[in-house]
Structure 1
Amino acid sequence: MTTVAIVSAGFMGSGLGTALLGGGARVVTTLEGRSARSRRLAEAAGLEVLPTLADAVAVADVVLSVTPPGAAVDAARAIAAAGRAAGVAGRAAGVAGRAAGVTGRAAGVTGRAAGVTGRAAGVTGRAAGVAGRAAGVAGRGEGPVVADLNAVSPETMARVARELDGLRVVDGSISGPPPSVRPGARVYLAGAGAEVVAGLPWAGMIEPVVLGDRVGAASALKMCTGSVYKGMVALITQAMRTAGAHGVLDPVLADLERNGLADTAGVAQAATKAHRYVGEMREVSATQAGAGLTPDLFAAMAAVYADIAATRLADGDPETARDLTATEIVARLAEHRTG
């Protein structure tokens, strides 16, 4: 059985865990330093909770990091430290018989590709019949494959990779809602271990897309698509606020609806995640600057989301259903939060 550790099992992370559990994987996480909401989400998803991050990394074949953009580098540093504590962070830590798909752990051998349990032969088969790298399972001697699935720029992803030096790093990004909300999100993957993550048992709830070996490609893609999706929501939100102030909300929405742009439900839902989008818009800004473009557009989008995050519309959690009229949305956007 493949074991996957989820770092930061919030709304998205727990949703990914749900898909993997449905496919037959063992999914672990830790709630060390996490909120009561994270505990509720992890328990509702049925994730196995271990005491510390080191405990989770020690048993994992694959680690998925799903944090807010601003926490990605710190999370990578913590995963690397947990790997060292668990004794699995060394890239050359006793790997034997790769051609045979067998991973050496000291003198004992973990016979994965051969599916051999073979105690008499000195082989410790972790899960009989589980294939090695070709079947998408990470070799223990190298430590787990670590996939950063956060919405960060290629530059930030490079910092993440440096923090995870000694582990196999996959650059990843997610496009779509958690599979527990609606199946079908795409997970884009790049790096030498991308096929390992793509080969996880996603139970048909996630569509993995491998972009190649170049770390940074999946992050660049996310910065492009996220700029459109979240930038559009910010534009609609600002248009609604302005229309409300000028008393023309209904005709504005009617005109936007003619072109399929009056997504008021998306505005209300996005507001609960606005505090996360601030960091993502800054990452988009940095990515566009790296492409020789002005960083100003998405620096302004970050300011828009920071303002939205300070309003009453941002109250609540993303997993909470919201059935608000356009008038209610605009009214909540006009009121600032007290806490």
Structure 2
Amino acid sequence: MSHAETATVGLLHPGRMGGGFGGALVAAGHRVLWCRSDRSAATVRRAEEFGLEGVDDLAQLAAHSDVIVSICPPPGAPQVAASVAGTGFRGLFLDANGTTRPALLALAGNLAAADIRVVDGSVIGPCPQDAPGVRLHLAGDKDDVARIISLFEGTGIRALDTGGSLGAASALKTSYATYQKAAYVLAGIAYAYADAHGVIEPLIGEASLITRSPLTEVLEDDMLPSVAARAWRWGPELARCADALREEGLPGDPADAVARVLERWLPVRDAFDGDTRRALGLLDGRS
């Protein structure tokens, strides 16, 4: 299939995120199939809204699809893949479920045993129909990755090659989700504590002074050695924060957990001229 050609894509399943992806593919000129079996009325309405073509069962979807795209809750990804393997499908399978690298590799191994080629994908960003800018990061065989990228040419979805082998896109999702999802939860706890003590407005003022994400600063500004050097002081401070949070009936576990992580950096106490690689290595046991 050249990049100018259209394809028939089987979509499993058109939930909010999956439906948006299906709609983008339809808008790009592709035929998108979905399986009506055991799906809710809301899913049916969504599929119709995005111009997807319903088929009666998975076997029919697999028989007519060049590519199958799996976008479902991560715990269900292995079962979806196993069901596809049982249909005799021999095309290209994109798993875009934000699963972990070990889970993706196990899934890919099972599909490879059924002669199905796999591309590892991770979605970062909003549902395509809600806002622009969603990214689909891809990993695997370079030709297979290029084929997936070609499907999304001209859509609002940025399909990007990580340059890595199978598992790299899932590892990226794990890395990003660990920070991004935890950050929102921590922000909620912080504002709940501030609200209990009438200091939300000053906290908002402090937040407005933050112009860059720590996820950016920690490497681009070489901040990690400085953080590691302060760990011996920050750990006890966060332990006290955990106690204060619990006094208000708020969860102190996140602060306790961070305090325990900071203990790994005790060997580089006050080493402000330290090395980023050394700091990272202390986290994962390489140093």
Fold match (TM-score > 0.5) = yes
In structure 1, the partner of 2:149 is: 198
Correspondence 1:216 to 2:216: no
SS of the equivalent of 1:146 reads: strand
In structure 2, the partner of 1:70 is: 75
Residues 1:254 and 1:206: Cα distance change in structure 2 (over 3 Å) = same
Q: CA deviation at 1:68?
A: 0.9
Mapped partners of 1:63, 1:292: distance in 2: 41
Q: Which one of 10, 14, 39 corresponds to residue 5 of structure 1? A: 10
Q: Which of structure 1's runs of 4+ aligned residues deviate more than 6 A?
A: none
In structure 2, the partner of 1:177 is: 126
Residues 1:32 and 1:249: Cα distance change in structure 2 (over 3 Å) = farther
Mapped partners of 1:67, 1:233: distance in 2: 22
Q: Which one of 252, 256, 262 corresponds to residue 207 of structure 2? A: 256
SS of the equivalent of 1:199 reads: helix
Mapping of 1:219-258 within 5 angstroms?
Answer: 219-258=170-209
Matched pairs, number: 207
Residues 1:293 and 1:38: Cα distance change in structure 2 (over 3 Å) = farther
Q: CA deviation at 1:197?
A: 0.7
Aligned amino acid, residue 219 of structure 1: S
Mapped partners of 1:36, 1:174: distance in 2: 25
SS of the equivalent of 1:212 reads: coil
Q: CA deviation at 1:35?
A: 2.5
Aligned amino acid, residue 53 of structure 2: E
Q: Which one of 66, 85, 98 corresponds to residue 151 of structure 1? A: 98
1:206-249 CA-to-partner distances (Å, cap 9, x unmatched) read 11111236100111111112222222211112212222333333
Correspondence 1:15 to 2:15: no
In structure 2, the partner of 1:37 is: 42
Mapped partners of 2:282, 2:15: distance in 1: 35
Residues 1:213 and 1:251: Cα distance change in structure 2 (over 3 Å) = closer
SS of the equivalent of 2:118 reads: strand
Mapped partners of 2:39, 2:205: distance in 1: 43
Unmatched runs of 5 consecutive residues or more in structure 1: 89-142, 262-290, 295-339
CA contact (8 A) 2:100 2:170 kept: yes
Q: CA deviation at 1:162?
A: 2.3
1:190-211 CA-to-partner distances (Å, cap 9, x unmatched) read 1122111111144231111112
Q: CA deviation at 1:170?
A: 0.6
Aligned amino acid, residue 204 of structure 2: L
Mapped partners of 1:18, 1:248: distance in 2: 45
Residues 1:213 and 1:248: Cα distance change in structure 2 (over 3 Å) = closer
CA contact (8 A) 1:183 1:205 kept: yes
Mapping of 1:106-125 within 5 angstroms?
Answer: none
Aligned amino acid, residue 164 of structure 1: L
CA contact (8 A) 2:152 2:159 kept: no
CA contact (8 A) 2:27 2:155 kept: no
Q: CA deviation at 1:180?
A: 1.7
CA contact (8 A) 1:20 1:203 kept: no
Mapped partners of 1:36, 1:253: distance in 2: 42
In structure 2, the partner of 1:319 is: none
Task: Give 1 or 2: higher helix fraction.
Answer: 2
Correspondence 1:161 to 2:112: no
Q: Percent identity?
A: 34
Mapping of 1:309-320 within 5 angstroms?
Answer: none
Q: CA deviation at 1:72?
A: 1.3
Mapped partners of 1:32, 1:258: distance in 2: 51
Residues 1:292 and 1:2: Cα distance change in structure 2 (over 3 Å) = farther
CA contact (8 A) 2:14 2:47 kept: yes
Q: CA deviation at 1:56?
A: 1.2
CA RMSD of aligned residues (A): 2.1
Unmatched runs of 5 consecutive residues or more in structure 2: 1-5, 213-280
